[in-house]
A and B are shown apart, each in its own frame.
Chain A
Amino acid sequence: MKFNLKIWRQEGPTLPGRFADYTVDNIIPEMSFLEMLDALNEDLIKKGEEPVAFDSDCREGICGTCGLVIDGLAHGPKLACTTCEVRMRVFEDGCTITVEPFRAKAFPVIKDLVVDRTAFDRIIAKGGYVSENTGSAPDGNAIPVSKDIAEAAMDSAACIGCGACVAACPNASASLFVSAKISQFALLPQGHAERKSRATNMVGQMDDEGFGHCSNHAECEAACPKGISIENIARMRREYLKAI
């Protein structure tokens, strides 16, 4: 397969960026999007040009490191899929693909397609954990948690913190990420002791980082590689309103 690529190139955080055009050929349909970019970078290195910088780690959809905006869609065209798991067969042979970094004030570009997502770490540092001593591992069923609640908490905990929700949101809001992190604790007894301070502190940090408002477009849920529901955002609001 052959593709024309329009890729955002930016040498540094404070330098202006621009789109550069490339063509890649002999792409196997089973290649992942990142493997296609690897092929491009090999070509660029052979030609003595600067390769395109992009983030990746596990390349199996579980670490949350990769993340590109492909033709205007965070993590590309497939639902519940990370960039590394998008296969080139989903694109039409010979088409032009526009590749941009996640764009948000709170996610400044470091280089090309790599953005700084440490804003998420600072939000987690404000309460995305349990610091109370909840004792050693209890006997099975000693703390009753119904299956529905356990499942909901696991669904929230599936968030890999990739930032696609911010990238996809028209307002660059981090509400889906923060709400998933608040929810996974709010749903379980171990998280209850600190639920109030967690909600107010994490929401406060989210606002301080410069993420936008959530206007309930639910585009984040569509972009989320783990399919995390905006039901979590409703829960975060309840948690916050109960805490203030």
Chain B
Amino acid sequence: MSQIKPLKSTIGKKVIMAVSGILLMLFLIAHLAGNLTLFVSADTFNAYAHKLESLGPLLYVAEAGLLAVFLFHIIAAFQTYAEKRRARPDAYAVSASKKGPSKMTVASKSMIYTGIILLLFIPAHIWMFKFNAGTPHPTTELDGQEVKDIYTTVVNAFANPAVAFGYAGVMFLLGLHLRHGFWSALQSLGAMCPKWSPLIYAAGLLFALALAGGFFILPLYFYFCGAGSCAVSGGAL
């Protein structure tokens, strides 16, 4: 068999989707862990952001890698969707689920849509927080050094109800995406057996709740609690 053909097979494409998906989930875990320092204090978060930025060229390599993983995931997703449309050109007049062992849910059926919304969300998200919507970040002093005060950028952004609730809404959709994505990735890699399947399926729900829940709470926390009242005074959570 040639080296390329297996990757083009239906199984190969789902392997690409699964491996890239798992890498993106690992990224999300790291991203959330970093974001949770927002709850600790402004200095902790700014120190974390500063540390990331001072990685220099290493950060660019990581960003390029992340972009590549995203592209693999997105291309495989659109190919799968196109294939699905081709495989059933005439839709059923009535569609339903037989329930029982079926895992067809709103989450599994809407992967392409939640994915597209996340795809539109990410550039806006980067523009808002990495580039502070095109203006320089405010600065603050940390250990005698002038660093970007991204904490204030975050606080200011989430003071706007449209941003805070918009973010929370997209994070809910991320939760749906992960609810199907987590276990589906493992099933696509063949890493399921009858003994473990129910446990892994349940773990997928916990993973989605924990990860999307963490990202979901952040904007709402800053909208309702603001910066001064809870976070800076040592963290209410």
Which of A72, A170, A171, A223 contacts B94 (CB under 8 A)?
Answer: A72
Contact B86 A212 (CB under 8 A): yes
**Chain A residues with CB under 8 A of B13:** 213
Looking at chain B's contact residues, the main secondary structure is loop
Whether B184 sits at the interface, judged by CB under 8 Å, is yes
Per the CB 8 Å criterion, the residue count for chain B at the interface is 45
Contact A212 B88 (CB under 8 A): yes
CB B9 to nearest CB in A, in angstroms, measures 6
Contact B197 A231 (CB under 8 A): yes
CB B194 to nearest CB in A, in angstroms, measures 5
Contact residues of A between 55 and 109, Cβ < 8 Å to B: 69, 71-74, 77, 79, 98, 100, 103-106
Measured in the bound complex, the distance between the Cα atoms of B84 and A106 in whole Å is 12
**Chain B residues with CB under 8 A of A207:** 9-10
**Chain A residues with CB under 8 A of B145:** none
Known: A217-B102, A221-B102. A103 touches B188 (CB 8 A): no
Q: Which residue of A lies closest to B101 (CB)?
A: A221
Measured in the bound complex, the distance between the Cα atoms of B188 and A8 in whole Å is 35
**Chain B residues with CB under 8 A of A77:** 98
**Chain A residues with CB under 8 A of B53:** none
Known: A77-B98, A219-B97. A211 touches B192 (CB 8 A): no
Contact B97 A213 (CB under 8 A): no
Contact B88 A241 (CB under 8 A): no
Contact A172 B84 (CB under 8 A): yes
Whether A131 sits at the interface, judged by CB under 8 Å, is no
Which of B1, B84, B99, B188 contacts A237 (CB under 8 A)?
Answer: B188
CB A99 to nearest CB in B, in angstroms, measures 10
Whether B202 sits at the interface, judged by CB under 8 Å, is no
Per the CB 8 Å criterion, the residue count for chain A at the interface is 53
Measured in the bound complex, the distance between the Cα atoms of B187 and A171 in whole Å is 16
Contact A219 B104 (CB under 8 A): yes
**Chain B residues with CB under 8 A of A14:** none
Measured in the bound complex, the distance between the Cα atoms of B15 and A236 in whole Å is 13
Contact A200 B98 (CB under 8 A): no
Whether B89 sits at the interface, judged by CB under 8 Å, is yes
Contact B103 A216 (CB under 8 A): yes
- Identify 13 new A-B residue pairs, CB closer than 8 A, beyond the known A100-B94, A229-B194, A230-B187: A72-B95, A79-B98, A105-B89, A210-B87, A212-B88, A215-B184, A217-B103, A217-B109, A219-B98, A222-B104, A236-B11, A238-B190, A241-B15
23 contacts between A and B (CB under 8 A): A71-B94, A71-B96, A103-B90, A105-B86, A171-B80, A171-B83, A173-B87, A207-B9, A213-B14, A215-B84, A215-B184, A216-B108, A216-B183, A216-B188, A219-B102, A221-B102, A222-B101, A229-B194, A231-B193, A235-B190, A237-B190, A240-B11, A241-B190
Residues of A near any B CB (own CB < 8 A): 6, 8, 19, 69, 71-74, 77, 79, 98, 100, 103-106, 168, 170-173, 175, 200, 203-204, 206-207, 210-219, 221-223, 227, 229-231, 233-238, 240-241, 244
- Which 4 pairs show the lowest CB-CB distances between chains A and B? A212-B87, A72-B96, A72-B94, A237-B190
